[in-house]
Structure 1
Amino acid sequence: MDALVLLIFCFLFGMLARKLELLPSSTPMVLNGFIINLSMPAITFYYIHKMQFDTSLLFPVFMPWIHFGLAFFLFRFIAKRMNYDKKTTGAIILTAGLGNTSFVGFPLITAYFGAEYLGVGVLVDQPGTFLVLSTLGIATAAIYSSGAISAMGLLKKVFTFPPFQAMLLAVLLRSFEIPEYAQLSMKTLGLTITPLAMVSVGYQLKFVKSPGIIKKLFFGLGYKLFLAPAFFYLLYVVIMRGSGINMQVTLFEAAMAPMITAGIVSIQYGLDEELAVMMLGVGIPLSLLTAPVWHYLLSGV
C-alpha cells in the first residue's frame, strides 16, 4: 500500500509541477535520461543476475510479441472498416500494441506484488516490450509514415539501449559472484524508478480534443486495458494451464497503459500526434484504476 500511495503522489505531483511551472520544461528529459541510463540498467542487472531461469519464464518474454502481433492485425482490420488514414492506423497500432511495462509497470508491480517480482517485469520489458518496439515497432512506424530504417539501424537501437546492455551483461556474469555492497547499491539505485518515472509521466500528460477521437480511444484503450489481458488469461491460464505469481505478474503487465516511448516514436515519425498523446493522456490515469481490478481478478491464478 505504501508503494501505491507513493506512486499516486508522484504522478499527481508531476501533473501539478507542469501546471504551476514548479519544474522546468526539460524535467521529463532529465528524469527519463536518469531512469534509462542508471535506474533501469541497475534494476535490470540486479534481478536478471540472480533470477533462476526455467521454462515458465518464456511466458513473460513472449507475451509482448503476441500482444503487438494481435494489435497489428486487429487495427489494420478496424482501420479498413473505419476508413482511418495511414497515420492514424500506425499510431493506434503502436500505442495500443505496446504496454508501459517499465515506467508504469514496475511501480505497479512493486505496489501490488512486491519488489522481488520486478525480475518478471524486466523479462516482459527487455526481451519483450523493448525489443518489439525496437524492431517491429520501428518498422511499423516507418511503414505507416514516409520514413524508413535499415536493418543496421534497428540493430544499433537495440544494442545501444543501456537496460538491454545491462541484461546481456547480467546473463554473461551469472556464474560470477557479485559483492553484496554492489548488489545493494544497484537495488537502491533501481528503486528510484518508481518516484522518478511517475513524476515524469505526470508531467508529460496532455489532453487534446478532435473529431472522432473518442471512438479511436475506445478501440485503442479497449484493446490495451481489457481485451488483451483477457486474451492472455484465456491463452496462458485456461488453455496452457499456467499458474503462480510469475504468471499473475505477466498477465498484470499485459494490462498496462500504452507505452510512452511508443507515443514518442509515433510523433517522431509523423503519425497521428493527437491520438498518440490522448492514448497516453487517458490511458495512463485510467490504468491506475483498472490495475487493482486486474490484480483482484488474477489473485486466484
Structure 2
Amino acid sequence: MISVLGLLFTSLLLGMAARRSGRFHEHTAHVLNAYVLNVALPALVLRSVHGLTLVPELLLSAAVPWVIFGAAWLLFRAVGPRLGLAPGSVAALVLTGGLGNTSFVGLPLIEGLLGPEGLRVAVVVDQLGSFLALATVATIYAARAAEKETHPAALWKKLVGFMPLVALVLALLTHPWAYPTWVDGVLARLGATLTPLTLFSVGYQLRLSGLRGRGKALCLGLGYKLVLAPAGIALLLLALPRLDRLSFEVTVLQAGMAPMVTGAILAVDHGLDPELSALMVGVGIPLSLLTVPTALWLMG
C-alpha cells in the first residue's frame, strides 16, 4: 500500500512541478485528459471487467455508488446556488463529490485495512458501481451541464462515443472467452498508465492559490464525499441487514473514498470549473487517508 500511495503523491507533485517549470505546453493537461479517457481508462475497463466474477448477493454493494451520485446531484443542486456557486461549479462538485476513487485509492486502502478478502467486495463496488456510473449517468450529466443539450439524439451520440462505455460493453460481450496472453499484457500496460497520468494532469492544473475563495465549495464537496456519504450509506445498510460484516465495512469505506480522479478529468474535459475539480482531488486524496481509517475505527 505504501508504494501505491507513494505513486499517487509523486505523480501529483510532478504535475505541479511540471507546470512551474514552464517546460510543458499550455495544452498539456488537455492532451493527457484525452489520452486517459480514450486509451488508458478503456484499456483498464476491458481488462478488469472482462475478468470480473459477480456474486449476486453483492449487487447491493454495487448499487451504493449510484445512490451516492444521485444524492450528490440533489444536494449540490439544492445547496450550491444558495452558497453563490455558479452552475459550472455545481456540476464540478456533482462529478467529483458524486464519484469515488474506489479503484486507485480504494483498492489498496481496503487491502491494507481489511486484508485481501476485502478486495472481493471492493472490486464489485468499483467496477459495477463507480466505473459504470461514470460511463453512463455521469457522462450524460457532464454533457448536459456543459452544453445544456437536452435532445435525446445528441445525448445518445455523446454516450455512444464515450470510449470507456464502449470498452465496458465489449468486456461484457467477450466475457465467456479468455483474452490471448499478449492482448491481456497490452491492456495491463496501457491501463497501468492511468493512475500516474491522471494525477500528473490534476497536479498540473492544481493551484493551491485557488484555495482562496473556494472554502465553501470545498467544504460542501469534501464534507459530503468524505463524511456525509459514508455515514448515510452506513445507516441505509443497517436498515437493510442483508450484508455480512466484512461486506458492510468494505461498502461503507468505499462510499467514503476520495473524489474520483477520472470524474475530475471528465469535468475538466467539459470545461466545468477545472480549478475546483482539481482542488477536490488534490485536497480530497490526502484527507481521505485520515477519514477512511477513522470510519473503520468508528464502525469497530
The reply to whether TM is greater than 0.5 is yes
Q: Deviations over 1:117-149 (max 9, x none)?
A: 65642323332133121234544x26xx8x333
Aligned equivalents of 1:125 and 1:137: distance in 2? Answer: 15
SS at match of 2:73: helix
Preserved CA contact (<8 Å) 2:64 2:125: no
Query: Structure 1 residue 225: deviation in Å?
Result: 2.1
Preserved CA contact (<8 Å) 2:91 2:142: no
1:111 is matched with which residue: 108, 129, 145?
Answer: 108
Aligned equivalents of 1:107 and 1:180: distance in 2? Answer: 24
Residue of structure 1 in register with 2:258 after alignment: 256
How many correspondences in the alignment? 286
Aligned equivalents of 2:35 and 2:178: distance in 1? Answer: 27
Q: How much identity, in percent, do the aligned residues show? A: 26
One-letter amino acid matched to 1:111: P
Query: Structure 1 residue 10: deviation in Å?
Result: 0.9
One-letter amino acid matched to 2:127: V
Aligned equivalents of 1:88 and 1:163: distance in 2? Answer: 23
One-letter amino acid matched to 2:87: K
Is the alpha carbon distance of 1:185 and 1:87 closer, same or farther for their aligned partners in structure 2, counting shifts above 3 Å? Answer: closer
Is the alpha carbon distance of 1:278 and 1:293 closer, same or farther for their aligned partners in structure 2, counting shifts above 3 Å? Answer: same
Is the alpha carbon distance of 1:201 and 1:79 closer, same or farther for their aligned partners in structure 2, counting shifts above 3 Å? Answer: closer
Coordinate RMSD, CA, aligned: 3.3
Unaligned runs of 5+ in 1: none
Q: Deviations over 1:261-301 (max 9, x none)?
A: 45436745xxxx4xx62353155323322235314634879
Residue of structure 2 in register with 1:99 after alignment: 99
Query: Structure 1 residue 187: deviation in Å?
Result: 1.6
SS at match of 1:106: coil
Is the alpha carbon distance of 1:182 and 1:26 closer, same or farther for their aligned partners in structure 2, counting shifts above 3 Å? Answer: same
Residue of structure 1 in register with 2:187 after alignment: 186
The alignment status of 1:38 with 2:27, answered yes or no, reads: no
Residue of structure 1 in register with 2:134 after alignment: 129
Which deviates the most, 55-64 or 37-46?
A: 55-64
Residue of structure 2 in register with 1:287 after alignment: 285
Could you state the TM-score of these two structures normalised by the residue count of structure 2? 0.79
Q: Deviations over 1:52-83 (max 9, x none)?
A: 12324434543333223222333344357x37
One-letter amino acid matched to 2:276: M
Preserved CA contact (<8 Å) 2:202 2:281: no
SS at match of 1:70: helix
One-letter amino acid matched to 1:175: P
Is the alpha carbon distance of 1:188 and 1:85 closer, same or farther for their aligned partners in structure 2, counting shifts above 3 Å? Answer: closer
Q: Deviations over 1:84-134 (max 9, x none)?
A: 476378446534653254xxx432135324697656423233321331212
Aligned equivalents of 1:59 and 1:97: distance in 2? Answer: 21
Aligned equivalents of 2:123 and 2:232: distance in 1? Answer: 23
Query: Structure 1 residue 173: deviation in Å?
Result: 1.0
Aligned equivalents of 1:17 and 1:230: distance in 2? Answer: 38
Aligned equivalents of 1:19 and 1:99: distance in 2? Answer: 29
Is the alpha carbon distance of 1:73 and 1:286 closer, same or farther for their aligned partners in structure 2, counting shifts above 3 Å? Answer: closer
Unaligned runs of 5+ in 2: none
Residue of structure 2 in register with 1:174 after alignment: 175
Aligned equivalents of 2:80 and 2:74: distance in 1? Answer: 10
SS at match of 2:210: coil
Which deviates the most, 251-260 or 9-18?
A: 251-260
Q: How does 1:45-124 map to 2 (within 5 A)?
A: 45-59=46-60, 61-79=62-80, 82=82, 84=84, 87=87, 90-91=90-91, 94-95=94-95, 97-99=97-99, 101=101, 105-113=102-110, 120-124=125-129
Preserved CA contact (<8 Å) 1:2 1:111: no
Query: Structure 1 residue 160: deviation in Å?
Result: 1.2
Residue of structure 1 in register with 2:25 after alignment: 24
Preserved CA contact (<8 Å) 1:134 1:154: no
Could you state the TM-score of these two structures normalised by the residue count of structure 1? 0.79
Is the alpha carbon distance of 1:99 and 1:57 closer, same or farther for their aligned partners in structure 2, counting shifts above 3 Å? Answer: same
Aligned equivalents of 1:71 and 1:255: distance in 2? Answer: 14
Query: Structure 1 residue 15: deviation in Å?
Result: 0.7
